[in-house]
C-alpha cells in the first residue's frame, strides 16, 4: 500500500511531472495522430472519441511517472 501511495504522490511531484508532461506531449501527440487523426480531419470526432483522445495523453504521462518512480525506488 505504501508503494501505491508513493506512486499517487509521484503523479503530482513537480520535478517528475515536468519530464512526464514532455513525454506525454510527444508520445501522446504521435498516438493521437495515429488513432484519431483521420476522424479529426474528417470532422467525425464524437464525445467518446474525445475522451479516448484524452486518455491517449494520460497513459504516457502515467507510464513516465511510473518509470521515474520505480527508478528512484531501486
For residue 63, pLDDT over 60 is answered with yes
Residue 36 near residue 52, CB atoms below 8 Å: yes
| pLDDT tens per residue, range 20-52 | 999 999 999 999 999 999 999 999 999 999 999
**Cell digits of residue 20:** 512526464
pLDDT at residue 1 in the model: 82
Calculate helix-pair angle for 47-73, 14-42, nearest 10 degrees. 150
Question: pTM, whole model, 2 decimals?
Answer: 0.85
The pLDDT assigned to 72 comes to 83
Looking at every residue in the chain, the average pLDDT score rounds to 94
Decide: residue 21, CB within 10 A, 0-12 exposed, 13-18 middle, 19+ buried: middle
CA–CA dist 17, 10 (Å, integer)? 8
**Residue 3 pLDDT grade (very low, low, confident, very high; cuts 50, 70, 90):** confident
Whole-number pLDDT of residue 73: 64
Amino acid at each position: 500500500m505504501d508503494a501505491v501511495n508513493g506512486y499517487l504522490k509521484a503523479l503530482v511531484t513537480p520535478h517528475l511531472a515536468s519530464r512526464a508532461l514532455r513525454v506525454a506531449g510527444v508520445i501522446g501527440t504521435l498516438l493521437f495522430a495515429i488513432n484519431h487523426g483521420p476522424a479529426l480531419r474528417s470532422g467525425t470526432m464524437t464525445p467518446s472519441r474525445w475522451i479516448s483522445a484524452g486518455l491517449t495523453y494520460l497513459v504516457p504521462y502515467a507510464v513516465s511517472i511510473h518509470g521515474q518512480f520505480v527508478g528512484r525506488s531501486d
